[in-house]
Structure formats: structure tokens, C-alpha cells
Chains A and B, each alone.
Chain A
């Protein structure tokens, strides 16, 4: 086997001389010679790579698929990303062929042209389907000259709001339907004989060309550029922008960024880089341990990743393992991967130094419009698979190929059978099926293939379905339930099947059944859906069930409200159902459930919260009174939940009935309810209690009580409150003053602003951020303060911190920042965007930047980078995860985004600004929404819920990245920071390891209270959930190290070593989960698991844990350990899933 056609390659490099010269002078343009690219490849042990096809015979491949004859069809676009005025769309569908089967293609032809950025192609139905802008087209070659002469529009109305989101990823399913994906910005409106099908945002479609049936399989995902079926017909998808690796897709599943969806599923590899394309490997050519692996392209980091996906109850778990191939060549952009007819793995290389679409100018001259390669990866010393042309086979031969291990052959055979006489196909398939042995796994799988054949030719066979529903392999049963769901209209007994399978012993079969039942419209179906709640739940079936109940609410909600249906009196099911909907008059039912509970029962808090979010005045009263009566021995917990309830009722403007009487009861119930009394008095402006609040507002010995009182006074919004708060705000006690300004700013902006100004003028007070931020949350705040600042002088230090606060605050604060600078007599020393500066810094970063020093800059707490940005899941979620930013963004873009963050904003990170009816401004990135509320993530990485009824105005915001964020950096620091970012996602020192390293930690901060607690008790206190301890997020470095030097040091007693504490959490999916914690070195470490001291033997600690979340606390004895530590998690195969927790 030749690896490269050397002569061809030499010719090619000559051809490219002209191009290279044209691009000289641009930064980071690598050689376009395929040999250079080939030499850059690092390939997995036991594999080799060769150039299968290349430019100039083909350019810019986007999607590729083999046909049954082994020819490779490629959708190629030279006009991406945007057509020029007057330019004629001239993109192509290309066929590449390896006629002599030597592993190198020698024939290329253009099958169709005149296309506008075709983003998908799949052969089928005597030609090929092509995703072309707003249309799905079908091309056919009628006269047999190898070129299409018939073009048909199959579907139209796909959105085109973004050319890298257009309809894409065409795949045939085992059911003979065509699956197609679209991305986040696409809004599609498709006319079919069954009505208009609409899909807004990302998702996967399912389409049957013969009948024009079109369905949405799943919604969401930012760029679902990969989709494949496993051998049992389960779907998996990858996302080119959401960073969760492999996503398990089932009908009705919803993923990130689906408009109007209040809840979504998380993928199987959170914190993973982004991927394009997905192939599940199969076939005899590959080594056994590679079969079933999923491969997906990390095109930003120039590598093809591999995942091992195993079953995890209803769903799956996924582990990233060694890459298939990686490269340091920056134009290597693997974007599609497919198994070929010879059993080798083929990679489509889009070949481009520039991949950004929105962020890099459409007309950036570094964009490559002419190159493209197909690489072929084979296992060394293993025989290839003999290609099978199903086109020349009769029905019997086709059926026999269904026994082969090569998944693509089986799919081709099924699609080919569609072309034969359907009556004969059905007869022969049933005969063939009758000879299979259902009791062995291979035979059972062949029966499943037979069932799919029947589905392909649209035949229903109840007997075969029933046989498979009873198979001992749950994967077969789950697949059969899916077919039942598809063919229900012609299966008389389908409801009987589902009522049995919904109680199957395996959760995935139950999940499929729940999804099948979700489109039914009778109460019996609802009862069956809810029956899965009698079994253990996991996150997959939980989502499926929640959504099924939500989708069937028309069926059950009104009957529940009318008291005619109660999920057979099972309050757990009823509560679960009520929580799944966010409308309807469900509160009286909730109150009935509440009456049957004890204060400490499971579900009490859920019921109370559900009442708070839906109840009216009477339910509110009942709930509050119930807590007061029932929380007897749990007064502290009772007080806390009451404050939460009252807060929610206030937000919803529900005034509990007989409120005076209730607050009287609270007052008499003891000090535990004092906060609740304050909250109630403030929420409903109860005059009787104002005096009490005013008194408490000066109690500086109990800060918590004082703060609550001040806040409650603010809610009165009357003259007395204005006067009292103004007085506290301008007083000498700093803590009280800040609290008063916060309370005042919501309704009396002038005194609030005056008080802040006073604070700023007192030169001793530098830290005015919280008070200033509160004033700026009021829509008039910045304007009032700017006016007040007119003739005022403040210290330079105060001015500097105030400017920083204003830069990070919501809204346009440019005028305020100017007046702060004038008042503090400080110059604007920040970086000023200019193209020249960007170029200078970019060049300097490439030549002189030190990425290791840059990482230290990035981690500097004053810069707050990690508050908003994660790397590989470790860090805040306000801005994009930077895990592969260096692989995707040119250096000048990195510089620009640091010094002028609003020029380019990554998709899915555009903020919205909301002005509420009280004049408060909120700014954040939308996370989810429901009929009632919007949830945004603010610049502090906190989730904020805003009721839709409270929204006065909503508009597009800017980037949450503050202007001036890097102003404090020196030139060299900035250069180092850029150098660090530019290395992220590239092969080398800043590659994210595939090991399960603990990256997201909390560190124990040094506070007086914490010091005293630990001093007075033992070190074990640090591993408890003592409220005196303050923990703050802490993240490992890109390499996975905890930088011990950055941790706070405790010195409990003179005879005890100095010690620092960090902790993190583990999620265990079911009881008995075995795992091993592996430290890089066990020296100088103390370990607690859920607060219990646990020995580390050597550097390892083996654990067996129950289902749920567990806290791992580590004490680091200093100076025994001074540099860094790393904690890795090992989970044996076949064990329940254990993984590091991921926060929302």
C-alpha cells in the first residue's frame, strides 16, 4: 500500500506556488503542500494514514458520504462563507472514485453544480440528496453520463440566517428515513402534505421522501454537525459549538439553546471541546477494541478524537480516549469522518487556516477557498474488507449481508432493498427471519435488521415486532419499541405492547415507551407514563418522563384541576406531573398534597416551592400557616423556607390572605422566624412592623438580621423608608451604609447616588464597588451620578476602582466613566483599539509571548478571567469555554477580543438586557425560558430568574466581557496572555488531557470566622458543611494542576502544620459505584470523603459510593507540599457511572 502518491503531490506543490506567494505576508499561513500536512500527523499506534484525494481536483469538502458502489460523494463550497454581489452560485457536488481500489482515488467528476453553499450530500433514490441553502434538492443522472441532468426541489423553507448553520449532516437511518440536522440560528418552515413543519433553532429532522412525512426528532444543540446510529438504532450527536462531547439523542430530547425550552439534557462529556462529524466505527478491518468507538473531529485543535461510549442505565456514558490522529498543522481541519467501503476510516479535511465565520471577516483574505483533502486511515497489517456492491445483488443476497459486522454494508443493503419489488422483499425477509435464532445475540440482531427492512419498505409485521419485544436483549426490545412507535397507526395492539414495555425491567425500554406514549391523548396513557416513576430514575428517563407529562398536559391537567384524576392518588406522581407544567390552576391540588405530608417528609420542600410559584392568596396563606404549625422542632428550617416562599409570593404579587394574622403568628413562633417577619412586613408594607424594622436596622451586632431589616425597609418605598435609609446610607458604619444604598437604589436613586458619592469622597474608603453597582442597576443611576460628580474631587484610587465597577456594570456607562476619571484626575490609560495595535500585539505574541507566564496572568484573581471563562469545563460559564480558542481563532482576533470585547461575540453568548417594571436593569446571557420566566446568567456567573410579567423592556445587549478588562496589564503581560490563549486547543503543553482530572474545585478562604472555627475544633471541620466556612471556586490549570501556592493558608495552632483546603464533588449514578482517586503524589495530603477522614495509600484511594453526590475534601500540609497537585479519577469498566460533578 502506498501512503502517498508522491508524483501527484510534487505536482500539486508546484501548482500552489502562486497561491503561497499571494498569501505571503499574512500571518500563520502554513504550507499548502499535502506532504507537509501528511508529515505533521501523529497517528494512533497501529494505524497509518495516506492521502486519498486532494485539491486541485476537489476543494472545500463539507460533507461526504460513500455510495454502495464505493464512490465518495462530496458537497464542496468555494463561495462559503458568503456570496459576493453579482457572483453566480457555482458550488459543486463532486464524486471521487478509487477505481483500481489501491486506496488512492484517481477519478474525480462533478455531478452537479450551480449550488449555493451546499452543506450536505447523501447518495440515495437513484441520485443524491443535497442540502442547498433553503432547499433540500434531489439530483439524478437520467442519461447515464455521470452528470446530473434532473434537479428536483424536495423540500424548501430551511433557514439561511447563517451559512455555517444551514441544513446539514444528511444520514440515512436504519428505518430507511433520511435524517438531517440544522443549527442554532436556523428557522425552518417546511410545507408538507401534512401541514407546515417548523423548527426554530437547532435540531434533527427525520424525513421519508416517498411520503413526504417530516418530523422533528430532537431540538437544540448549537451546531449538531455529527449524527450517527449505533447498531441498535440509538442516535448520537456531536456539537460544533456546545462543549459536551457525545450527546445521546432520543425522540423528544432537547439540548442546549433550543428557544422556549425551560429544561434540557446535558451531553455525555461536559467540558469537552467541540466536534464536527461523528462516526461509530465498525467492521473487521479495525482492531476489535476500536469497533464501537465513536470518532469525532475537533477541527479547532486539528485532531480527530475518539470516545468509548458504554451503557449507563436508560442512557450512556462516554469516555474520551486516545486520538485517532492529531496534527500541529493549522490548516488541517477535519470536519467529516466516515467508514469507507474497504473498512478504512476516511477524514474530510476542509483545509483552512481560518475557520471562524462570524468573528472573522467574510472577506478576510486569509480564508482559503481552493484547498481540501480526503485522508484515509488504515490499521497496519490488518486485511482490508472486500467492498460489497449491493447494487448487483438479488434480494436473498442482500438479506445475507445483514449478518455482516460492517454497519455501512447493512445500511446499504436495507436501502437497496427499497428498490426491489416490495411484495417479494417482505416475503423473503419474513422467510429469512424465520430461520434466525432469536436466543443468541447475533441472531436477535439479525431479526432486528429484518424488522428494519420491513420498515424500509413500509411493511408492518406484528408477529416479528412481538417476537422482538420479548427478546432477552434490552437493546433489541428498545429498538422494537421505537418501531412500534413509528408504525402505531397500523399496529392494532400497539397500546397493549406499550403498557407492558413501559414496565420493562430495563430503563431504556421504559424510556422508549414513555416517548411513544407521549403522543397519545388519553388518561390511560398518562397513567402509564407516570408508572415509570415507580422505578429508579436516572437523568435520561427523568427528562423523557418530564417532557412526556408536559406534552400530554392537555390530557390530564384540566381533569386534575377538576379533581377527577389524581394519578391514582400517588402524591409523588402527582407532584412530579404538576412540576412538569408551568401553567394551570394546580395550587389547590398541591395544597391537598401538602396536607398529607410531614414537615420532614421527602418532597415537602418541592410541594411548598410549587405552591409558591403557582398559588394564589388562599394557597399562600395555607402554605405559610402549614409551615408554622408543622415545623415545630425544625424552626430554623421552617424560617428559611418561609423567607423563600414569601420572596416568591412577593415577586408574583400574591398577597397571602389574612397576612396580618400570619405575621402575628410568625412573631409569636420565636426568633427563628424573625427573618420571615421582616420579609413579610416589607413585602406587603405592613405599617405595624415598620418600627420593629427601623429598630433592627441599627443592630450592628447581628449583621445578618440588620441586613434583612434594611432590605425590608427598602421594600416599603415610602417617605419614612427614604429618610431612614438615607440616614444610614450616609452614616459612618460602612456595612450598614452599603446595605442601605442597595435598598435605596431601587426606589430613590438620588439619595442613593449621593450616599455613594459621599463614600467615594471619604478617602479612607476605597471599596465602594457593591454600593456603586447597586446604583448602576437602576436605569437612572449612571445619569444621576454623572451629574453629581460635576464639581467633585475623589482620590485616584477610588476613581480607578469605580471605573472598573462601571466598566463591568450593565448599560452604557461611558459618560460616567469619563466624569469619574475627571473627578479622580486619572488618565484613560487603557488599551485603545486600532488595527495597527492589534497587528503589533499579535506579532509580538507569536514571537515573544510566553504562554506559561500568560497562564499565570489568566489565573490572576484581579483579572477575574476565570469567573466567566472555563477551560475544559473548569471556570465560569458567562463567556465561551476557551478550551480550543487558540485552535480556532487567529491571534489578531484574540488580541481584539481582549481589548475591544464588543467587536466580536461568540454565538450563544450574546447577552440580553432586561428592564423590569421597577426600573431595575438586568444583563446576562439567556440560559432558558418558560412561559412564565426567563433565566439569565449574569456577569457574576449567577443565574437570575425574571418573571416575564415583570419585564418592561428587553433588548439585545453587548458582550458581558467588560471594556478595559485588561487595562491594568503591561504590554508584556498582555502579549503573554495572548500567547497562552493562542496555544489552547493545539497539540502540546496546553492540550486538555483526556484523563478524568478534577478541574473544578472550591478553596477554603481565610476568614476570621473560618480561622476561629478550625482553631477551636479540629481540621475535620474543614470537611464539614459548617456555615462559618466560606468556599470560593478554584480551578486547576490547563494541565490539570492545582497551584498550591495560590491557596489560602490556615495556621490552626502553633504545634500544627500550616494547611490549605480544597474540595470538589463526585456524582455517582447508582449504589455501589467503585472508583479510585489517584493523586500525582500522596505526600503531604489529607483526604476526607463526605466529611470522613479517609486514608490515601501511596497515591491512591479506592472508594465504593452510594448513588448521589459526594464531597472530596483535600487538606494540603504546607510546606510539605508547596508546588501543585493533580487528582485523577479512575472508574473500572462495567461499574456504575462515577464522574466529577458539573454545575449548571
Chain B
């Protein structure tokens, strides 16, 4: 059953068509960019929860991504040291960055370092400066992302108040560093005010059978859930100054949509619609508001008055009047869900392949001090490159060549 609320009459479509680009709204990512993410667990888990990649791709086409997240890492590359010293971890960071060939580097450090509090602050700033200097060699634009404040999810998880106070110092330091070096900076959260200190909890929870109640964005106060990444992805894309894509069809003209096989009759219109990129959809199944944000706008003039049904690939999506169509209607883009889901899965698979490429299991035998034993199998590692390219091509082609048959028929 189709509910009328799912069809929204476009109120001021024209506004959406004019978006001037001024200096401080210049998008930080452009078509063709290779974006490399660098950081700790927050970045590492983006490999599997690819919402940020999806969101950026829904706004700019032709962008590729490499994820260099490594849990527990910091500006010194400590987690990357493996058997070596911390400075060797830092060297590895450089090598992996070279492998990733960035044109844009999005760096997110500070969350782990902040546990050291005020005492560790100057060392952190120095380390971050050193890192930024080193990244200059890659001739990519650098964007800083500040860490998120921990959420207070109540006991038995710890009260993050103390940590968040320390983190504030580090976020301020990152801000100063960004100002000094004239780098854009993205903030992921604001500290919780005392009035909104997390979810209300009994002092002693009755039981924690599964998990403590949580906000939905994190499940442990510090690491994002899939939903958390999805919500944050939109914020990050906004802060990257990437305008939301408008998908619209007006007569034979499409915006971000290619139209073909267009047949208009007095009682019906048929055409094939191929969006040039896909909207990022709500993967979790909730969050209707977000679905509403991604719409496909349709406007047709010249149909006979009366009621019309809109079909996409033979599925009836809505019922509208000729008059509504003349003013403009907006369809929820849920028809793209399957495609978006497929792209999302391919993104995770692509990231896994790159993981095997830059941080393969059994490194000890492939590249390190036991390479004389299994080093012969190291030839397999670069074999991941064409596989990664293949996944990327797949993702691109899903994003710009999935077609939908649209039929608007008097009923």
C-alpha cells in the first residue's frame, strides 16, 4: 500500500537548482580525487561501515578511497611499529601512504593521545606537526578531523567526564594547528553539557544481558556503530562542503540523471532513468528523516488532468494528480536501496582487499624476518591491486549505470 505521505509535493524546487559556489563553500573533494583516511579505530572500522565513502560518492562522482586506519594508532604511528620501534611505525605510515597514492588525506588522530591529558599535550602537538610535515611529501591536500567526545552511557561503562575534559585540550590544539597550517578541520562532536549527560541509568543496572542502553551512535561510548557512521557521514560530507546531490527529472531534462527512451503520450510518460550517482541510503532500516533527505524530483507538464500512478521497474510507488506533477513531486529514493546496498557491500569488500594489500596477515613470513621462508608467497600481495581496481570499477559502474524504467500512467 502506498501512503500519500510518501509523495511530497515539491515546494521550491527552483531554490535547489541554483547553488552558487563561493570561496569558502568550495568543496574540499572533487571528482577524480583519491581520498585516504588515516587514524585509529574510528578510521579502521570505516572499512566495514563504508557510510562515509557512500555519502561522499553520492555527492561527488568518481572519487576513490583508501583506508589506512589502524586501531590504537597515534600521530607517532605507534600501532604500525609491529616488531620494530615506534619510529619504524612512523616510517611504515609513510610507505603505506605512498602505496595509497592520495590526492586528499583525511587525518583523524588525538583520541588515543588525549588519555595522557595536559602532561602529554605538547608532545602530541609536536608529533602532529611532524606528521603533517611528513605528509607534505605526498602533495595531497590534508584535512583534519577532531576526535569525538566519549558518550556517557552510564555504568558499568565509565563516566567519560574526565577524559572529555582532557580531550577538549587536544581538540583545541588540533584547531590551533589547523589554523597555523591553514588546514580545514572537521569537528565530529561537541562535549555533552551537564544537562544531557548521556542516557539516564539506574545506579546499578538491573542486568546487562546484552548491552547497556545506548544512544545508537556508539555501543560502548567510544566507537561508532553502523548507524553512528551513517549519521556522522552526512555531517562529514557537509563539512567537506559537498552539496547534496539533487536528482530531478523535468520533462526530458535530468539533473544528475540521464534520461533515455523518453515517450510522452497524453495519458502516460515512459522513460529510462539512469542516475549518475546513487544516493546513500539508510542501511539500518530506521531513520525516516534521512530517507526524506534523498529524493528524486519529478516535474511534467502537458498530461491530461486526472490521477496518475508512478511505476518504477513495474512497482507502483505513488499516486499523484496531473496538477501535482505539473508543480513537481518528490519520490523517496528507496527504489535505489538494493543498488545502494550492493555498492555498500562492495565497498567493504574492496576495503578488505586493500587491508590484505597494505597490512596482510602473516607479514612476518611475507616481508619481515621470516621472509626467507614464505617470501615467495609475497608475490601474491601485489596481486590484490588489480582486484581492488576491479571492485572499484564495479562500485563506479553500479553508481553510474544502474537504470530504472519509469512509467507514469493515468489510472
Known: A81-B362, A82-B377, A157-B71. A212 touches B220 (CB 8 A): yes
Contact with B along A111-141 (1 / 0, CB 8 A): 0000011000000011000000110000010
Query: How far is it, in angstroms, between the C-alpha of A157 and the C-alpha of B160 when the chains are bound?
Result: 21
A356 (CB) vs chain B CBs: closest residue: B373
Give every chain A residue within 8 A of B48 (Cβ-Cβ).
Answer: 153
Proximity bits, B379-410, A CB within 8 Å = 1, else 0: 01101100100000000000000000000000
Known: A81-B362, A190-B72, A420-B207. A153 touches B45 (CB 8 A): yes
CA distance A361 to B204 in the complex (A): 54
Residues of B within 8 A of A357 (CB): 365
Of B12-20, B74-82, B261-269, B314-322, which stretch is located at the interface?
Answer: B74-82
B387, A191: Cβ atoms closer than 8 Å: no
Is B335's beta carbon under 8 Å from chain A? no
The majority secondary structure among interface residues of chain B is: loop
A860 at the interface (CB under 8 A from B): no
Assess whether A419 is in contact with B209, with CB atoms less than 8 Å apart.
yes
Q: Are A152 and B115 in contact (CB under 8 A)?
A: no
Closest residue of chain B to A166 (Cβ to Cβ) is B361
List B residues 241-262 near A (Cβ within 8 Å): none
A144 to B207, alpha carbons, bound, how many Å? 21
A362 to B74: give the CA distance in the assembly, Å: 33
Report which residue of B70, B150, B359, B373 has the largest number of chain A beta carbons within 10 angstroms of its beta carbon: B373
Q: Is A1035 an interface residue (CB 8 A)?
A: no
Which of chain B's residues 147-184 have a Cβ closer than 8 Å to chain A?
Answer: 150, 155-158, 160, 163
A210 in contact with B208 (CB, 8 Å): yes
Residue of B150, B208, B223, B364 contacting most chain A CB atoms (<10 Å): B364
Q: Are B383 and A161 closer than 8 Å at their CB atoms? A: no
* Shortest distance between the CB of B341 and any CB in chain A (Å): 16
- Which residues of B72-119 have CB atoms within 8 Å of chain A's CB atoms? 72-74, 78-79, 81-83, 111-112, 115
Q: At the interface, yes or no: B122 with Cβ under 8 Å from chain A? A: no
**Which residues from chain A contact B369 at a C-beta distance below 8 Å?**
910, 956
| Whole-angstrom distance between the Cβ of A568 and the nearest chain B Cβ | 33
Alpha-carbon gap, A166 to B377, bound state (A): 20
| Chain B: minimal CB distance from A359 (Å) | 6
A421 within 8 A of B: yes
- Considering only residues 739-757 of chain A, those with a C-beta below 8 Å from chain B are none
CA A279 – CA B264 in complex, angstroms? 76
State A81–B72 Cα separation when bound (angstroms). 26
A86 CB-CB contact with B under 8 Å: yes
Q: Is the CB of A156 within 8 A of B45?
A: yes
Q: Check: A653 CB closer than 8 A to any chain B CB.
A: no
Determine how close the nearest CB of chain A comes to the CB of B358; give it in whole angstroms: 12
Nearest A residue (CB) for B41: A191
Flag whether B376 is at the interface (Cβ < 8 A): yes
Kindly state the separation between the CA atoms of A166 and B364 in the bound complex, as whole angstroms. 12
- Taking the complex as formed, is A162 at the interface, i.e. its CB lies under 8 A from any CB of chain B? yes
Tell me if B219 counts as interface (CB < 8 A to partner A).
yes
Q: How far is the CA of A191 from the CA of B370 in the complex (A)?
A: 29
Supposing A84-B380, A89-B352 touch, asked if A210 and B41 sit within 8 A by C-beta, the answer is no
Q: How far is the CB of A163 from chain B (nearest CB, A)?
A: 5
Pair A140/B210 contact, Cβ less than 8 Å? yes
Q: How far is the CA of A156 from the CA of B67 in the complex (A)?
A: 15
- The digit string for B16-56, where 1 denotes a CB below 8 A from any CB of A, is 00000000000000000000000011001100100000000
Instruction: Judge whether A193 is part of the interface by a CB distance below 8 angstroms.
Output: yes
Distance A85 CA – B385 CA, assembled complex (angstroms)? 9
Return B209 CB to nearest CB of chain A, in Å. Answer: 5
**Are A157 and B72 in contact, with the CB atoms below 8 A?**
yes
State which of A196, A211, A362, A420 has its C-beta within 8 Å of the C-beta of B156. A211
Mark each residue of chain A from 200 to 220: 1 if its CB lies under 8 Å from any CB of chain B, else 0: 000000001011100000000
Contact A82 B206 (CB under 8 A): no
The reply to whether A162 and B364 contact each other, CB–CB distance below 8 Å, is yes
Q: A196 with B115: in contact, given A88-B349, A161-B362, A163-B361 (CB under 8 Å)? A: yes
Q: Are A195 and B115 in contact (CB under 8 A)?
A: yes
B287 is an interface residue with CB less than 8 A from chain A = no
The distance in angstroms between the C-alpha atoms of A1057 and B111, with both chains bound, is: 80
CB of A516 to closest CB in B, whole Å: 22
A903 in the interface (beta carbon within 8 A): yes
B205 at the interface (CB under 8 A from A): yes
Smallest CB gap from B115: residue in A: A195
Is B40 touching A191 in the complex (CB atoms < 8 A)?
yes
Q: List A86-110 residues whose CB lies under 8 Å from chain B.
A: 86, 88-89
Taking CB atoms, residues of chain A closer than 8 Å to B44 are 156-157
Task: Write out the residue numbers on chain A whose beta carbons fall within 8 Å of the beta carbon of B309.
Answer: none
| Max chain B Cβ within 10 angstroms of own Cβ: one of A84, A159, A161 | A161
Pair B72/A458 contact, Cβ less than 8 Å: no
* Contact residues in B for A361 (Cβ distance below 8 Å): 374, 376-377
Chain A residues closer than 8 Å to B163, beta-carbon distance:
193
Q: B228 interface residue, CB < 8 Å from A?
A: no
Interface of A is mostly: loop
Query: Which residue of chain B is the closest to A957 with respect to CB atoms?
Result: B369
Contacts of A86 in B (CB 8 A): 353, 383-384, 387
* Contact assessment for A190 and B71 in the assembled complex, using a CB-CB cutoff below 8 Å: yes
- Name the residue on B nearest A912 (C-beta): B369
- Which residues of A sit under 8 angstroms from B361, Cβ to Cβ? 82-83, 116-117, 133, 160-163, 166
A362 vs B360: C-alpha distance when bound (angstroms): 14
Partner of A422, one of B73, B79, B205: B205
The answer to whether B207 touches A358, judged by C-beta atoms less than 8 angstroms apart, is no
**Which A925-960 residues have C-beta < 8 A from chain B?**
956
Closest partner residue, chain A, to B219 (CB atom): A152
Does B222 lie at the interface of the complex (its beta carbon under 8 Å from any beta carbon of A)? yes
- Interface check B136, CB cutoff 8 A: no
Min CB–CB distance B217 → chain A (angstroms):
14
The reply on B221 being an interface residue by CB < 8 A is yes
Answer whether A187 and B207 are a contact pair too, CB < 8 Å, given A157-B41, A161-B368, A193-B222: no
For the complex, is A538 an interface residue (Cβ under 8 Å from B)? no
Contacts A82-B377, A189-B79, A362-B377; A153 near B223 (Cβ below 8 A) = yes
Q: Beta-carbon contacts of A161-190 to B below 8 Å, as 1s and 0s?
A: 111001000000000000000000101111
Chain A nearest Cβ from B364, distance in angstroms: 5
Given contacts A185-B364, A421-B207, contact A191 B112 (CB under 8 A): yes
Per-residue interface assignment for chain A, residues 901 to 924, with 1 indicating a CB less than 8 Å from any chain B CB and 0 otherwise: 011110100100000000000000
**Which chain B residues border A133 with CB–CB below 8 Å?**
361
B72: chain A residues at CB < 8 Å are: 157, 188-191, 196, 198
**Complex Cα spacing A152 to B48, Å:** 11
Our pick among A88, A166, A193, A198 for the contact of B157 (Cβ within 8 Å) is A193
Q: Report B-chain residues with C-beta under 8 Å of the C-beta of A358.
A: 364-365, 370, 373-374
A85–B377 touching, CB < 8 Å? no
Instruction: Check A907/B112 contact, CB under 8 A, given A361-B377, A422-B205.
Output: no
A907 touches B71 (CB 8 A): no
In chain B, what residue has the closest Cβ to A417? B207
Asked if A423 is at the interface of the complex by the 8 Å CB criterion, the answer is yes
The verdict on A161 contacting B82 (CB below 8 Å), with A156-B45, A191-B112, A196-B115 known, is yes
Are A905 and B370 also in contact (CB < 8 A) when A85-B383, A125-B210, A422-B204 are? yes
Interface residue? A435 (CB, 8 A): no
Please tell me if A418 contacts chain B, counting CB pairs below 8 Å: yes
How long is the Cα–Cα vector from A188 to B71 in the complex, in angstroms? 9
List residues 418-438 of chain A with CB under 8 A from any CB of chain B.
418-423
* CB of B393 to closest CB in A, whole Å: 14
Q: Residue B363 at the A interface, CB < 8 A?
A: yes
A910 to B81, CA, bound (A): 19
5 closest A-B pairs (Cβ-Cβ)?
A189-B72, A157-B71, A85-B383, A189-B79, A195-B115
Given contacts A126-B210, A191-B41, A211-B158, 14 further A-B contacts (CB under 8 A): A81-B362, A84-B380, A86-B387, A126-B209, A134-B71, A157-B72, A162-B362, A187-B82, A190-B71, A193-B157, A211-B155, A418-B207, A422-B205, A905-B370
**Would you give 14 A-B contacts (Cβ < 8 Å), ordered by A?**
A84-B380, A85-B381, A86-B353, A88-B349, A125-B210, A157-B70, A160-B359, A166-B361, A187-B82, A191-B41, A193-B163, A357-B365, A363-B377, A423-B204
